[in-house]
Amino acid sequence: MQHIQSYLDEHKDRFLNELIDLLRIPSVSADPAFKDNVIKTAHVIKDSLLSAGCDHVEICETEGFPIVYGEKIIDEKLPTILVYGHYDVQPADPVELWHSPPYEPVIKKTEIHPEGAIFARGACDDKGQMYMHVKAMEFMTKTQQLPCNVKFMIEGEEEVGSVNLSKFVKNNQEKLKNDVILISDTGMIAQDVPSITTGLRGLSYVEVEVTGPNRDLHSGLYGGAVANPINILTKMIASLHDEDNHITIPGFYDKVEDLSDAERAEMAKAPFSLKEYEKSIGINSVYGEKGYSTNERNSIRPTLDVNGIWGGYIGEGAKTVIASQAFAKISMRLVPNQDWEEITTLFKNHFESIAPAGVTVKVKPHHGGQGYVTPIDSIGYQAASKAYYDTFGKNPIPQRSGGSIPIVSLFEQELKSKTILMGFGLNSDAIHSPNEHFGVWNYFKGIETIPLFYKYFTELSK
Ligand code: BES
Ligand code: MN
Ligand code: MN
């Protein structure tokens, strides 16, 4: 039986080149200008699943972008792994901050990635990580080592909220039936610190609009006598945190689960250097909710952040004006037990209630999703842990992540199965930012580790 190492030695260059070709297609789901490219990417994924050995692959149309579904069922009595990933990417903006064009992948060495990293939008999130599964599948089928059934579900709308995938999952329970869901769309602590993500935060995303006078006004003629929507908006936003950086929305924390001291002590054992953290993002100090560590603030605690704010004159030079309207996009990261729709309502009611006379305020909910936690005593977690042990030579650390993959809690609700999040990216890989990249070493490490998950999951399921 051929070992993964010798298979990789033989096919390494092709595995890299296939990913590079995939990254050349700008599959930005948020921007209608990229529509054809998103659809084209779905077809490329379909072909890749067929060549990797799936018996049956289809493009499932939705009201939005298609879902690519593939399967290989070898024996109904064996367990079934459902692999989920996404082929859509975030917009590359601001493009001028990229050192090489976002859709012309290049491999460059970095301090963290001495073997080189592929720089391109989607390299890590999630084309590179998703494609590890396709190549692991190829290895298992071509060398007759696929130990169980596998289903692939690769969507094109993760970065815009997975609305159509939610419907697809609800309507295709039988087709998607599985024993465990496997996803690589998260990160690990460091190159030499493998970790399995055991939690994701939920999300409520809203847009707010503050309207004052019926037109933009001369800021001299009217200044001081009318409510300035931008002044008001920033004041309202500032009031959403108190001096300890707690969120002031009534009821916001009601369902937040407090971790026990023992759990917090366990979390604190994960290797972390505050100095390096600060240095890596160029800040002179961390900032956040009083009473919690940096790792707690960005994983087990809910947050509220402005993601964008605009209004008034932002062109060259100066224009004296009081804008008629001001806007902001606000995200709230939520923790398990907080219900995103309930939080959205709490936000809306509160934000509207604090609007002073002189302006009107509208809150438009965008999208959201629930958080997720998974226990570490499941067969899936144990199988992942053994797989990492084999390829990294050490046990992985369970880690609750601050990011969100809202569809994961829906999987649990609709398909009644647990998700194992085997991420191979690093926080420094700059996902969603300019110069996103994915380590070549990480890519191959993923391809090496995934088949072992299949093996151990099948063995432990007996
Ligand atoms: N893959 C990320 C989420 C992620 C990254 C989780 C790293 C944990 C570690 C995913 O593609 C993403 O960006 N999710 C969005 C939410 C979505 C509704 C747009 C997010 O977290 O902002
Ligand atoms: Mn992702
Ligand atoms: Mn993303």
DSSP-derived secondary structure for 197-212: EEEE-EEEEEEEEEE-
The terminus-to-terminus CA distance of the chain in angstroms comes to 22
Ligand closest in space to the Cα of 162: 1
* Minimum-distance ligand 1 atom for the alpha carbon of 401: 8
Cα–Cα distance measured from residue 276 to residue 284, given in angstroms and rounded to the nearest whole number = 11
Ligand 1: residues with CB < 6 A are 125-126, 158-159, 161, 185-187, 203, 401, 403-406
| Separation of CA 183 and ligand 2 centre (Å) | 10
Q: Name residues of the chain where pLDDT drops below 70.
A: none
CA distances from 255 to 147, 172, 372 (A): 42, 32, 14
Which chain residues have CB less than 5 Å from ligand 2, an ion?
125-126, 185
The answer to whether the CB of 67 falls within 8 A of the CB of 167 is: no
Write the residue with the smallest CA distance to atom 4 of ligand 1.
403
Q: Which of 398, 415, 399 is nearest to 407 (CA)?
A: 415
Name the amino acid, one letter, at 448: E
Count of C-beta atoms within a 10 Å radius of residue 308: 10
- Ligand 1: atom nearest CA of 162 is 18
Question: Token digits for 104?
Answer: 């012309």
In ligand 1, the atom with minimum distance to the C-alpha of 425 is 7
Which DSSP category does 33 fall into?
G
- pLDDT on residue 1: 72
Predicted pLDDT of residue 405: 97
Confidence (pLDDT) at 182? 98
Q: CB–CB of 18/136 below 8 Å?
A: no
Among 203, 303, 332, 404, the mutation site with the greatest number of ligand 1 atoms within 8 A of its Cβ is 404
- d(Cα 365, Cα 341) in Å, to the nearest integer? 9
**189 phi-psi bin (left φ>0, alpha ψ -120 to 50, beta other):** alpha
Q: Which pLDDT does position 53 carry in this prediction? A: 98
Distance from C-alpha of 166 to C-alpha of 350, rounded to nearest angstrom: 29
CA distance 116 to 86: 24
Distance 403 CA to ligand 3 centre (A): 9
CA-based nearest residue to 131, from 215, 27, 259: 27
Ligand 1 centroid to Cα of residue 200, in Å, is: 9
pTM above 0.85, yes or no: yes
The Cα–Cα gap between 340 and 412 comes to 16
Q: State the closest ligand 1 atom to the C-alpha of 368, by its place in the atom list counted from 1.
A: 18
176 alpha carbon to ligand 2 midpoint, in Å? 20
Q: What are phi and psi of 235, to 5 degrees?
A: -65, -40
